[in-house]
């Protein structure tokens, strides 16, 4: 149930699209909502917005989820893949080079890890699915080719080949809808 009104206490609260209040540094699991996550990720562009077309984190997450399932993952694995960037719904995204090669990135990663633990508990997300990282990296190489520039070497993509996949960016409303549908489908399959 949305809290509405004012934040429940002083602090760095975000009001979500559903009206909930979330402090990403001290999250209340009951305020974390799948619909808010779908909408926020659909409204966020990969590569910190440095893309030739708007390409959302939600679309990226759906594709990673499908890749993990196509590579033999079960519903729990595919659900974990869908939610692998869910922290970005509340903390935003930090471009990879800043996140992994700067002091700011180190502080961001600490906050992200705390929020990720809460999200894992709230949504019963399976931890440590190795195929997620492999699918995520291959898709990153593919996205870079499709939407960014490949003019310099990224150490994180050493030995990673882009997928044989043509990407066409979805508009935010479509990305939010498809993410929410994938969430509902996988959540129902996990509960069987």
- Report pLDDT digits (tens) over 136-159: 999 999 998 899 876 667 777 788
According to DSSP, the residues that pair with 22 across neighbouring strands are 14
Residue 20 in contact with residue 36, Cβ under 8 Å? yes
Tell me what percent of the residues of the chain surpass a pLDDT of 70: 96
Per the model's pLDDT, the better-predicted residue between 38 and 96 turns out to be 38
pLDDT at 120 over 90: yes
pLDDT tens-digit map of 27-48: 999 999 999 999 999 999 998 8
Answer whether residue 162 shows pLDDT above 50: yes
Q: Which helix (H) or strand (E) holds 22?
A: strand 21-22
Which tokens sit at 106? 């180190």
CB count in 10 Å sphere of residue 100: 14
Query: Residue ranges of the alpha helices (H) in the chain?
Result: 34-42, 57-70, 75-82, 88-91, 96-100, 103-123, 130-147, 172-190
Q: Looking at the predicted structure, is the pLDDT value of residue 2 above 80?
A: no
47-95 pLDDT, tens digit each = 889 899 999 999 999 999 999 999 999 999 999 999 999 999 999 988 8
Q: What is the mean pLDDT of residues 107-111?
A: 90
């Amino acid at each position: 149930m949305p809290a509405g009104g004012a934040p429940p206490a002083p602090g760095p609260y975000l009001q979500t699209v559903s009206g909930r209040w979330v402090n990403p540094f001290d999250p209340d699991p009951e305020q974390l909502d799948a619909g808010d996550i779908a909408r926020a990720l659909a409204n966020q562009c990969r590569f910190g917005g440095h893309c030739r077309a708007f390409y959302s984190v939600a679309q990226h997450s759906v594709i990673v989820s499908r890749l993990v399932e196509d590579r033999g993952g079960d519903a729990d694995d595919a659900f974990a893949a869908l939610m692998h960037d869910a922290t970005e719904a509340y903390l935003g995204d930090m471009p990879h080079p800043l996140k992994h090669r700067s002091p700011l990135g180190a502080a961001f990663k600490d906050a992200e890890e705390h929020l990720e633990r809460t999200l894992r508990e709230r949504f019963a997300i399976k931890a440590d699915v190795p195929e997620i990282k492999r699918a995520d990296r291959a898709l990153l190489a593919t996205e870079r080719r499709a939407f960014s520039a490949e003019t310099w070497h990224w150490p994180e993509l050493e030995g990673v080949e882009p997928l044989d996949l043509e990407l066409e960016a979805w508009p935010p409303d479509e990305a939010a809808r498809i993410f929410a549908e994938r969430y509902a489908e996988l959540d129902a399959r996990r509960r069987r």
